[in-house]
Amino acid sequence: MTLPRLATAWLGGCSGCHMSFLDLDEHLIDLAGMVDLCYSPIMDIKEFPVAVDIALVEGAVANTDHLAQIRLIRSRTRILVAFGDCAVTGNVTALRNLFPLDDVLCRAYRDSDVVAGLPVGGDVPPLLDRVLRIEDVVPVDHFLPGCPPSAAVIFSFLKYLLAGRAPAAEGRRFGS
Ligand code: SF4
Beta bridge partner(s), residue 58: 10, 83
The pLDDT-based confidence of 62 (bands split at 50, 70, 90) is very high
Rounded CA gap, 157 and 69, in Å? Answer: 24
Q: How far apart are the first and last CA of the chain?
A: 29
- 89 alpha carbon – ligand 1 mean position (Å): 11
Could you report the per-residue pLDDT of 69-126, keeping only the tens digit for each?
Answer: 999 999 999 999 999 999 999 999 999 999 999 898 888 777 766 555 555 555 678 8
Could you report the per-residue pLDDT of 123-166, keeping only the tens digit for each?
Answer: 678 899 999 999 999 999 999 999 999 999 999 999 999 998 86
Find the residues whose C-beta lies inside 6 A of ligand 1.
13-14, 16-17, 58-59, 84-86, 91-92, 147-148
Mean pLDDT of the chain: 89
Determine the residue of 10, 11, 14 to mutate for testing ligand 1's pocket, defined as the one with the most ligand atoms within 8 A of the Cβ atom: 14
Rounded CA gap, 55 and 134, in Å? Answer: 12
The pLDDT-based confidence of 174 (bands split at 50, 70, 90) is very low
Strands 127-132 and 61-63, by their bridges, are antiparallel
Of 160, 6, 129, which Cα lies nearest the Cα of 76? 6
- 176 alpha carbon – ligand 1 mean position (Å): 18
The structure's pTM equals 0.90
CA-nearest residue for atom 2, ligand 1, is 147
